Amino acid sequence: MLGRVGTPEEYEVTRQIDNRLYIEPGIDIEKILPPVLAAINAVMDATPVETLAGVDISKLLTKPPENGDNTFSAANRERIRLLSGIA
């Protein structure tokens, strides 16, 4: 799978004397994050959010959709920010 995006050397993936694969996480994250975010942005650009359930177009830019399953709740949005390191 790594061959799709680069070489093991570019991602600091090495096979050591014990025959295990080792990854340098900092380098790996720095290299993989930009294409992952670009893919997420492409999906978001292609998603017609105005057609999703619970979306009020007049409030689309000012607040999240309101729905019964808490998908867009403040707590979930906070978790997403924390997990993505932007909180």
Domain boundaries along the sequence of the chain: 1-47, 49-87
Tell me the per-residue pLDDT of 44-82, one tens digit each, with 9 for 90 and over: 889 888 787 777 778 777 776 666 667 777 888 888 888
**Cβ atoms of 74 and 63 closer than 8 Å:** no
Mean pLDDT of 23-28: 82
Counting residues of the chain whose pLDDT is more than 90, the rounded percentage is 11
| pLDDT for the residue 28 | 77
**Cβ atoms of 54 and 66 closer than 8 Å:** yes
